[in-house]
Amino acid sequence: MGQGGEPRRVQAYDGELGAAVTRAQEGDEAAFAIAYRLVQPGLLGYLRGLVGEDAEDVASDAWLEIARDLGRFRGDGAGFRGWTATIARHRALDHLRRQKVRPRSAALEQDMLDLPGPHSTHDQALESLSTEYALELVRGLPRDQAEAVLLRVVVGLDGPSAARVLGKRPGAVRTAAYRGLKRLAHQLGVESVTDDGPRTLGEST
């Protein structure tokens, strides 16, 4: 964990999150509340990108399942974020099926790349991703790109973790994130985003 593509604020929470999850598995309700507080903002942002205004309802369903199955989870703080994102994604897809709404893009692209280097002007675009406007822009991306961006940037997963959530190859998820961020940066008016092309961030996948 902790590659250059992960937001530092998320990395900083992972130690606290892992400890809270361990205590919660031992029956500490206050610790579960801490884990919820650390995970919910990113999870809600991810779900807003998938189901829009129904995100709160889907998140509630996801947390019921997370609480029910908590004893089965094995892993650290970063692993918990990936596990909860997987559950939330399943609930979101169930919700979309119930609504008979097809996700924006049924075709998932085959080959994808790493996020650009940490000093790229992509960072300027990412700073805006917490806004409702930016989440609306994310929702307008092809679904593979939208999910990759949301998992990498909003939930804060590294490439392999995001790939596990999506059931895709890490390379495919990295390229989808790169393409999505490139499009978002263009829409947000950030110039020269891809002048030097995508670069790897040292992930061994």
Residues lower than pLDDT 50 in the chain: 1-5, 104-121, 192-205
Integer Cα distance of 112 and 148 in angstroms: 10
**What is the pLDDT at residue 184?**
84
pLDDT in tens, 18-71: 999 999 999 999 999 999 999 999 999 999 989 988 999 999 999 999 999 999
**What is the pLDDT at residue 133?**
72
Q: How far is Cα of residue 116 from the mean position of the Cα atoms in its chain?
A: 17
**What is the pLDDT at residue 14?**
87
93 burial type by CB count under 10 A (0-12 exposed, 13-18 middle, 19+ buried): middle
Max Cα-Cα span within the chain:
51
Residue 147: both structure tokens together: 């999910």
**What is the pLDDT at residue 137?**
83
Integer Cα distance of 59 and 80 in angstroms: 15
Residue 105: both structure tokens together: 């893009």
Give this prediction's pTM: 0.71
